[in-house]
Amino acid sequence: MCGIIGILSKGDVAPRLLLGLRRLEYRGYDSAGIATLVNGRIERRRAEGKLVNLQNELKDNPLIGEVGIGHTRWATHGAPNERNAHPHATHKVAVVHNGIIENFQQLRDELNSSGYIFESDTDTEAISALITRELENGASINVAVKTSLDRLEGAFALAVIFAGEHNLIVGARRGSPLALGYGDGEMYLGSDAHALAPLTKRICYLEEGDWTIVTSERADIYDKNGTPVQRDEMETALSGATIGKGNFEHFMQKEIFEQPAVVGDTLQSYLNAHTLEITLPSLPFDLSEVSRVNLVACGTACYAGWVAKYWLERIARIPAEIDVASEFRYRDAPLPKGGIALFVSQSGETADTLAALRHCRENDQHIVSVVNVGESSIARESDVVLPTLAGPEIGVASTKAFTTQLTSLACFVIAVGKANGTLEHVKAASLAKSLTEVPSRMAEVLNHDQDIRELAINISKSRDVLYLGRGTAYPIALEGALKLKEISYIHAEGYAAGEMKHGPIALIDDGVPVIALAPPGELFEKTLSNVQEVIARGGKVVFISDHEGVKRLEKKSWASITMPKIDDFVAPLLYSIPIQLLAYHTAVIRGTDVDQPRNLAKSVTVE
C-alpha cells in the first residue's frame, strides 16, 4: 500500500506535494519521490527511506514546476531503495501508483522484447513504459491511457503527468482508492481526502474503474468503458490541521492515553447514559430477524471482531463466525441470503477487508461496518456504518481504534440481543452500565504505566513471549502478541490458555515469559490452573487479574498487574491497556521506530 498525490497549480507544487505525502506516510514509508514538469521536461527527486530523506534531497536540489505528482511507498515489487522509488518515468510520462499489477511480468517481458530497458524492478514501471509506447505509436493521451489501463490486471490508483503538458494530470483507479480535489483554479488527486484536506474541502471520490483527465479548469471522468460519467462532489469533514504528539514521545503513547476519552465519546454516540438505552444508526433490515453474522477483518481489527463473536453467541444467542479477510473470500463460505456481514476496519481502506465486503455484497448480505474513517471506501460501500470516534490514529500499531471498535461492537451486540428478545431489559441495562464504567477504569489502569515500564525492561531481553487467555481474553491474548511483535520485533504468540497442554507448553522455560490474562468470571479458575501448569515447569508468568485473582497466585508469579474489578463483559476493553503499554515500553527500550515500525504501514491497501 502506498500513498499518491497530484497537484495542478498556479505556483510551484513541490512544497505542497511534500505536505500531502506527510499526511500519506501512514500508508508506507519505504521510500518517497516527486516529479514535476520543468520547462516541459519531467524532473524527479526520489529518496530511500522516510519522507524526511526526500525533504533533505529537495533542500539540496530544489524542484520547481506547477504540475507534479508524489508518492510514498510500501514496497511490493523491488527492494525499498531509490532505484525502485516512485515516480517511475520515461522521457514522456511520469507515474505514481498504489496497488499491485498482477500481470506485470508478462508486460515487462513484452516491453523488454520491444526494446524497452527497465531501470527498476517494480510493477509500476511497466505502466509508464506502456503509456510511452502508445504515445510513440501516435496515440493521443486519452487513447494511450485507456489502451494501457485495459492491459493492466490487478489493483491500481494512478496519477500520471506528461512531458510538455503543463495543464494536465491523469488519474485512474481500480481496486485502490483515489480522490479528486477541486481548488480555485487548481486541481488535486490523492489516495484519500486526508491528504488533500490542507488543499481543499471539495472532494469527489472516483469509483471502481474510473479514470479522469484533469486540467486546471475541470476534470472529465470516464468509466472503465470510456463512457463519460458524473461523480458527486462532496464537502469533506476532515480537518487540514496536522495532528501533533502533544507532550507525548510517540503518537502511539498519546493514543493509548486518549482511550478513556475516545471510548467515552464512542459510547456516548450510541448510549443514553440516563436511560441506558442503546440506539444504533438506522438499519435497512430488521435487527430482530438477524439469524447469523459473519465478522471479517484483518489484524487488530480482526481480534475486535473475535471478541464480538463471543459476545454475539453468548449474549445475543446468534451464531457468529470470525474470519481474517484474506482467507474469508477464498474459503467460499455458504452465505444464506439476508445474513449480516460485519466488517471492522480503522482505516476503512484495507484491501483484503474491502474485497471481502464486495464478495458479501455479491452474495446479498447486509453489509455493516465498524470504521474510524467515515469517508473511507469501506464506509461508503456499506449499508450501515457503526462509527468509532477514536479520532485520527497515526501510530501504525492500533490502540484507541481497537478499544473503540470493541465499544461499538458491544453496543451492537446489546442492541441485537434486545431486538431478538434474548436479552431482557434489566440485563441489557446492566451490560450498558458496565460499559459506562470503562473510561474511568481505563484511567485507573493507565496509572500502572511506570510499573509496566519496569516490567518491559525484562521483557525487552526476551527472544519469545507467550500470551494466554480464555474466552474473550483469548483474542486479547492474540492482540497482545501482535502488539509486541509488530513494534518491538520480539517473536510473540497468543494462545487459548487451555491449549497450552496440547503442545505449546513444551516451549516453557525461564527464557520465555508468559503474559496471562485472567479477568474475573467463570473462566478464571481454569485460566489459573493453566497458569499453574506453566509455573510448575519453571515458566515466568506475568499475571494480569484483579486484586482477588492476583492474591490467588500469591508470590508464585514472576510479576503481576492488578486490574480494577469490572464486569467480565467489558474486561476485553480494560485488559487491552496493559498489553498495549507493555508492547509500547518494550519497543521504546529496544529502540525501534514505535510509530512507524519496519516493513509495516498503517493502512494495507494491497491484497
Nearest in space to 571 (alpha carbons), one of 448, 494, 471:
471
Q: E strands, 115-270, where?
A: 154-162, 169-174, 179-182, 187-190, 202-205, 211-214, 219-222, 228-229, 234-235
The verdict on whether 602 is a catalytic residue reads yes
Question: Using N-to-C axis directions, what is the helix angle for 425-446 and 576-590, rounded to 10°?
Answer: 30
Query: φ and ψ at 425, to 5 degrees?
Result: -55, -45
- Interacting span for ligand AGP (CB under 6 A) from 165-173, 264-272, 345-353, 362-370: 345-353
* Smallest distance, ligand AGP to C-beta of residue 345, A: 3
Query: φ and ψ at 550, to 5 degrees?
Result: -65, -40
* Smallest distance, ligand AGP to C-beta of residue 84, A: 23
Question: Based on CB atoms, which residue is closest to ligand AGP, 350 or 408?
Answer: 350
Active-site residue among 2, 204, 302, 360?
A: 2
Compute the distance between CA of residue 84 and CA of residue 55 in angstroms, rounded to an integer.
18
* Smallest distance, ligand AGP to C-beta of residue 300, A: 3
Query: φ and ψ at 128, to 5 degrees?
Result: -65, -35
- Interacting span for ligand AGP (CB under 6 A) from 312-320, 343-351, 429-437, 568-576: 343-351
- Interacting span for ligand AGP (CB under 6 A) from 11-19, 238-246, 294-302, 361-369: 294-302
Query: φ and ψ at 100, to 5 degrees?
Result: -135, 125
From candidates 14, 96, 340, 397, binder to ligand AGP by CB under 6 A: 397
What totals of helices (H) and strands (E) does the chain contain, helices first?
A: 20, 27
From candidates 9, 176, 259, 603, binder to ligand AGP by CB under 6 A: 603
From candidates 141, 322, 396, 594, binder to ligand AGP by CB under 6 A: 396
Which residues, 300 to 319, sit near ligand AGP by CB under 6 A? 300-301
From candidates 84, 346, 488, 576, binder to ligand AGP by CB under 6 A: 346
Under the binding rule (CB under 6 A), the answer on residue 345 touching ligand AGP is yes
* Smallest distance, ligand AGP to C-beta of residue 474, A: 17
Q: Which residue(s) pair with 174 in the sheet? A: 156
- Interacting span for ligand AGP (CB under 6 A) from 23-31, 69-77, 340-348, 511-519: 340-348
From candidates 120, 326, 347, 586, binder to ligand AGP by CB under 6 A: 347
Residue found by looking up cell 430488521 in the block: 286
Residue 402 CA to its chain's centroid (Å): 11
The verdict on whether 485 is a catalytic residue reads no
Under the binding rule (CB under 6 A), the answer on residue 191 touching ligand AGP is no
* Smallest distance, ligand AGP to C-beta of residue 103, A: 26
Which residue's Cβ has the minimum distance to ligand AGP?
Answer: 299
Compute the distance between CA of residue 216 and CA of residue 158 in angstroms, rounded to an integer.
18
Element containing residue 63 per DSSP (H, E): none
Residue found by looking up cell 514472576 in the block: 558
* Smallest distance, ligand AGP to C-beta of residue 543, A: 24
What one-letter code names the amino acid at 545?
S
- Interacting span for ligand AGP (CB under 6 A) from 53-61, 71-79, 293-301, 564-572: 293-301
Question: Based on CB atoms, which residue is closest to ligand AGP, 63 or 515?
Answer: 515
Under the binding rule (CB under 6 A), the answer on residue 353 touching ligand AGP is yes
Other residues' Cβ atoms within 10 Å of the Cβ of residue 49: 15
Question: Based on CB atoms, which residue is closest to ligand AGP, 36 or 350?
Answer: 350
Under the binding rule (CB under 6 A), the answer on residue 350 touching ligand AGP is yes
Nearest in space to 490 (alpha carbons), one of 454, 464, 523:
464
Which residues, 113 to 132, sit near ligand AGP by CB under 6 A? none
- Interacting span for ligand AGP (CB under 6 A) from 216-224, 260-268, 292-300, 449-457: 292-300
* Smallest distance, ligand AGP to C-beta of residue 381, A: 14
* Smallest distance, ligand AGP to C-beta of residue 589, A: 19
Which residues, 477 to 496, sit near ligand AGP by CB under 6 A? 486
Under the binding rule (CB under 6 A), the answer on residue 253 touching ligand AGP is no
- Interacting span for ligand AGP (CB under 6 A) from 14-22, 45-53, 391-399, 536-544: 391-399
Q: Using an 8 Å Cβ cutoff, are 344 and 409 in contact? A: yes
Residue found by looking up cell 525502485 in the block: 84
- Report helix, strand or coil for 218: coil
Compute the distance between CA of residue 453 and CA of residue 237 in angstroms, rounded to an integer.
38
* Smallest distance, ligand AGP to C-beta of residue 478, A: 11
Compute the distance between CA of residue 573 and CA of residue 442 in angstroms, rounded to an integer.
8
From candidates 299, 439, 469, 513, binder to ligand AGP by CB under 6 A: 299
Other residues' Cβ atoms within 10 Å of the Cβ of residue 398: 27
Under the binding rule (CB under 6 A), the answer on residue 295 touching ligand AGP is no
Question: Based on CB atoms, which residue is closest to ligand AGP, 43 or 375?
Answer: 375
Q: Count residues binding ligand AGP (CB under 6 A).
A: 15
* Smallest distance, ligand AGP to C-beta of residue 240, A: 22
Residue 386 CA to its chain's centroid (Å): 16
Nearest in space to 439 (alpha carbons), one of 267, 255, 253, 245:
267
Helices (H), 276-335: 299-314, 325-328
Active-site residue among 400, 485, 540, 602?
A: 602
Under the binding rule (CB under 6 A), the answer on residue 388 touching ligand AGP is no
From candidates 1, 2, 238, 298, binder to ligand AGP by CB under 6 A: 298
Supply 464's cell numbers: 519469545
* Smallest distance, ligand AGP to C-beta of residue 533, A: 30
State how far the alpha carbon of 153 is from the alpha carbons of 105, 106, 113, in Å: 11, 11, 20
What one-letter code names the amino acid at 85?
A
Angle at the Cα of 604 from the Cα atoms of 493 and 244, rounded to 5 degrees: 95
Residue found by looking up cell 493507565 in the block: 446
Query: φ and ψ at 112, to 5 degrees?
Result: -55, -45
Where does residue 270 rank: exposed (0-12), middle (13-18), buried (19+ CB within 10 A)? buried
Interacting residues with ligand AGP (CB under 6 A): 298-301, 345-347, 350, 353, 396-398, 486, 603-604
Catalytic residues: 2, 602
